[in-house]
Structure 1
Amino acid sequence: MVQSRFSPAVQIDLTPMQIPEALPGVALAFTGAERVEIAQHSLVLHPGQPSEMVVLLKNLTAHPLRLELKAEGNFPPEWCRIGTEGNEIPAREQMQAVLYFQLPATYFEDQQAIAPNKKEKLELNFRCFVILHIDPGTDQEKIERSDEFSIYVRPWSNYMEFLPLLYREVDFIARFMKIFEEAYQPVIDNFSAMWANLDPLTSPRKLLPFLAHWVAWQVDSVWDLQQQRRLIRRAVELYQWRGTRKGLRLYLHLYTGLPLDENLSKESDKHISITEPFGNSFILNDAELGNAVLGGGQAYHFVVRLRRKEGQTIHEELIRRIIEEEKPAFCTYELFIENSNN
């Protein structure tokens, strides 16, 4: 904390919460030229990010003082908001106020910044000072002014972290590195997120036909977008288990969204139940006319039973189409779609 101004009544101390590493004029030291004079206090502002200047007010008198605080300078007034602990300081006490600065996140992209016919260069350095009205509205009103401090608007650059500390102190290098960051960082970010483009669950919609071609999957307009994503992602697994109960159950699961219920041992309790009906085979003493079965059941026949959730719509024709594609050609089947009790 650096003392900025003394007065007979009030002492004003300024403390910047975000001090710039690189300041204008530092680069001139490498050329041997005289450095540009820089204000004692400096505050850096990055577009879209908040920054603060803490103002400590000390009452040096033996009686309380009413105060009114303002911030003035050549910066747009909407950048600054003032927060105080009150408007009166007891005798020999102190009070803290904060100047909250924040400029638009699009400061460098706004039209006034990039206008081709703009004659004046974009302003990046501003001056500011605190105006203190003591006992405002009375005959004893006094106006005190703090030392001037600088406000530097600078783009945030991660690339400066890769440079030695000596170069970080040069303002020109910081802004120069930002040019390379703006040019190359989108490409780097693209490579970092490339996995998302190659995953059917997260890839752009227009890339799905390409990913489907990779795994020889036929994209059908009958399927909605989320179903297509799930099917393309697990197409190889479906090929691996084609013609089996596991493969058919997985395919039906990807379409209907019904759980696989792999934790249930009893097949008939599952939401997607695939069973082969078998009865008692060739028992003469218990056989009755009309229900005696030789061989225990119909060969190569299975029953698919779907227990849909309440309010869920299942396209029966599409279910039959899935079964026809997945089952062995010599097998027959029956399909039942029921409402689940769970």
Structure 2
Amino acid sequence: MKRTDIERLLPEVFQRAIEGGSPLLTLLEVMEALPAPDEAVLDQLDAFFDPYRAPDAFVPFLASWVDLERFLQGVPATSATQAAPSWPSGMGRLRELIAAVPFLAQWRGTAKGLLRFLETATGVQGFTIEEQVPGSDGLPRPFHLRVRAPHEAAPYRAMIEQIIESEKPAYVTYELEMVENPEGRPPSS
């Protein structure tokens, strides 16, 4: 609220006492300045709810709203002076993952959803999921998956395992393989 707007709210006797250098003028200027930071935040409130425009410190909070905080490393920040919890593949990947949550929720428990989750979380393309994994007798093992991850995703192995554990159906077992060429494509040069 501007100083002139505040002045109009004062009784007339106070309005006449406002002069340059008076304590009342100083008080009105302070009253104008105090809510300015809050008003600036309120003017751009919609940015806080957009994972691409939210301040970095707010993104982990957004992640908690969409049930992704279980994947954040470390203890959540409790004050503005502490660093926000880190996402293994970077803040940009976490922003992408938050934006992908509607799709991921719709496809949770499916190979399609798990692939999208892994590729979005790591930023690495080329994951494959085998659902008909042969056992030692040559027959498909029931309720078992083989997830093949590109070698480039190796630094994120712990996160990948955590995602698979969390996103696969509870009754399904899995094995994770880090492979040089998961889809059988010729290596790119």
2:56 matched residue in structure 1 = 205
Letter in 2 for 1:251: F
Q: Deviations over 1:299-329 (max 9, x none)?
A: 11111111244xx653222211111111111
1:255 is matched with which residue: 121, 134, 142?
Answer: 121
> Equivalents in 2 of 1:211, 1:256: separation in Å?
19
Report the CA distance between 1:292 and its aligned residue: 5.3
Please give the secondary structure, in 2, of the residue aligned with 1:298.
Answer: coil
Please, what TM-score do these two structures have when normalized by structure 2? 0.57
**8 A Cα contact 2:133 2:146, kept in partner:** no
Q: Which runs of 5+ in 2 are unaligned?
A: 1-38, 74-85, 182-186
Counterpart position of 1:305: 148
Q: Residues 212, 278 of structure 1: CA spacing in aligned structure 2 closer, same or farther, 3 A cutoff?
A: closer
Task: Report the structure number with the largest CA radius of gyration.
Answer: 1
Q: Which has the higher helix share?
A: 2
C-alpha contact (below 8 Å) 2:145/2:175 kept by paired residues: yes
1:323 paired with 2:174, answer no
Residues 305 and 336, structure 1, Cα contact 8 Å, conserved in 2: yes
Pick the structure with more strand per residue.
1
RMSD: 3.2
- How many residues matched? 132
Cα pair distance change 1:330/1:292, threshold 3 Å: closer
Q: Quick one: which amino acid aligns to residue 234 of structure 1?
A: A
Q: Which amino acid aligns with 1:208?
A: V
Residues 304, 336 of structure 1: 8 Å contact kept: yes
Aligned to 2:103: 237
Structure 2 counterpart of 1:218: 69
Aligned residues of 1:258 and 1:308 also touching (Cα < 8 A)? no
Higher relative contact order (CA 8 A, sep 6+): 2
Identity %: 34
With normalisation by structure 1, the TM-score equals 0.33
Counterpart in the other structure of 2:128: 273
Change in Cα spacing, 1:276 to 1:215, as seen in structure 2 (3 Å) is closer
Deviations 1:170-214 (A, max 9, x none): xxxxxxxxxxxxxxxxx79x74x5543321122111222442343
> What secondary structure, in the 3-state scheme, does the structure 1 residue paired with 2:149 have?
strand
Gaps of 5+ in 1: 1-186, 260-270, 280-290
